[in-house]
Amino acid sequence: MRNFEHPGRSVAVGRSGMAATSHPMATLTAIDILKSGGNAIDAAVAACAVQCVVEAGSTGIGGDCFALLAPNGSDQVIAYNGSGRTPSAADFKWFKDQGISEIARSSPHAVTIPGAVDAWTRLVADHGRMSMVDILAPAIALARDGYAITPRVAADISHQRALLAVNSSTRRIFLDNDEAPAVGSIQHQPELAETLSAIGKHGRDAFYRGDVAEDMVSYLQALGGLHTIGDFASAEGEYVTPISATYRGWTVHECPPNGQGIIALMILKILERFTPSGHPLNADNLHIEVEATRLAYAARERWLADAATSNVPVDFLLSDEFADELASKIKSDQISDASGIIDGVEHSDTVYISVVDKDRNAVSFINSIFHPYGSGLMAPISGVLFHNRGQSFVLTEGHPNEIGPRKRPMHTIIPGMVTRNGKTALSFGVMGGHYQAMGHAHFLSKLFDYAMDMQSAIELPRLFPLPGTTTIEAEEAIRNAIGEKLQGRGFKVIPPKWAIGGAQAVWIDHQHGTLLGASDHRKDGCALGY
């Protein structure tokens, strides 16, 4: 039970439906869709489309998508990988011959073929009830008629003002006289409204073929990109077999590689080999979480890649033997040896959506353009803002995650689902780029080790060890409480650039026939049930 004398939020409660998103307009849209006869996947896609408009720095149709679905609240979880591939001409040797040793954020080579629209249309066709015209109508109206800027969106634009000022289209749409807009000011995206309308009427082909595709390809090619109309026309996501691991008797489901869900499972398996004690955020508990994360992320940098083109040893990474080996490296009072190749990360922007409907269909849905406002590149006629997911590739020959033709990069965005006794109990996700795998483990540990309610677990202060370093980004409350203790164990503790991540979750209470929802205060959104 939360202390009602302290600031915070109560969990949302409902019986017929529940939605949790990082923007109030998206949550409201999801509830409206459910009330009008749509199911959970209809509501999730509608909410995501709205966020592509009103929270454009976090997501867009120029990005990628992953989803987990649990039909009728069962434990038969369905996974969909909607991440895009590189152009067919993106051969490693070409980059080497061009002298390109790293992929810059605003380079056209950071833009893989966006997979979101294909994922939306496929999931709705296979599992939804409503037409894409009706599902996209709220987003189209907001893009055409205007939407008000919320506080977190205003802050994100302010942080990315220099990036947005470079491209004439992003400068025109997102900036006000080259400055970040004020909270409550109105923005319009008429070009995006037309593109969404075309997708609603004509489906995926309106994006991957025809005028919209021509606009995207010609723009990227003018910047030196290798993209072709054929690359867009052949874009296709796929259903994949979920991976899972148990934690304290609960089964946690994730999408398989190329996503980093496997890293969340690895962290949980390591944590299960320790018994937490005292306050969840005391120095000893967080030391173990940090060390488990550093070890699992070192494995990520070594092995994680597109399983369709590289040999990712999933069974080995999730084996008890490997978890035992990693856990044995953790010392209670000093840093372990967890070498990696990343020397700093940005907590990237993403939207995560959780929806459960009256039939207990549960959808865990995540859509991203990676860094805030992605690459900063926008196709001028269609209004498509491109992600920069290609930056996750490694330009090291022979590495599993090296760039190559029609290849998907290592992906940070991961939806989560938890089941027990043949039923889905929890649909959840944690935004925040590279942080997400640790975020999953951190959140579930607080639920199952400390019996915290979802909202209280989400509101706890966060920290994140930057992969490949001994530096920890820690929010203010952690720095003040135990920062010196962590530094005494050999870590460097620094403030994050901004609040770490964001989370949403929906719990299905099968005993009482109710739904509980939670949403992160680090974003503008909320959970609503009815």
Q: Could you tell me which of 200, 72, 59 has the C-alpha nearest to residue 124?
A: 200
Options 86, 121, 170, 350, the catalytic residue: 350
Burial 81-115 (b: 16+ CB within 10 A, else e): bbbbbbbbebebeebeeeeeeebebbbbbbbbbbb
Query: Which residue type does 193 have?
Result: A
Query: Which residue type does 289 have?
Result: E
Q: Is 470 a catalytic residue?
A: no
> CA 491, CA 501: separation in Å to the nearest integer?
21
DSSP assignments along 350-417, one per residue: EEEEEEE-TT--EEEEEEE-SSTTTTS-B-TTT-PBP--GGGGSB-STT-TTB--TT-PPPB---EEE
Under 8 Å between Cβ of 375 and 388: yes
Q: Could you tell me which of 359, 360, 461 has the C-alpha nearest to residue 417?
A: 360
Q: Is 79 helix (H, G, I), strand (E, B) or coil?
A: strand
**Helical (H) or strand (E) element with 157:** helix 151-159
Q: Where are the alpha helices (DSSP H) in 234-305?
A: 261-271, 283-303
Which DSSP category does 109 fall into?
G
Query: Which residue type does 97 have?
Result: D
Under 8 Å between Cβ of 393 and 103: yes
Burial 419-451 (b: 16+ CB within 10 A, else e): beeeebbbbbbbbbbbbbbbbbbbbbbbbbbee
> CA 436, CA 431: separation in Å to the nearest integer?
6
Give the Cβ contact number of residue 37 at 10 Å. Answer: 10
Q: Beta strand 526-529 with 18-21: parallel, antiparallel or unpaired?
A: antiparallel
Q: Could you tell me which of 83, 190, 110 has the C-alpha nearest to residue 415?
A: 83
Kindly list the catalytic residues.
Answer: 350
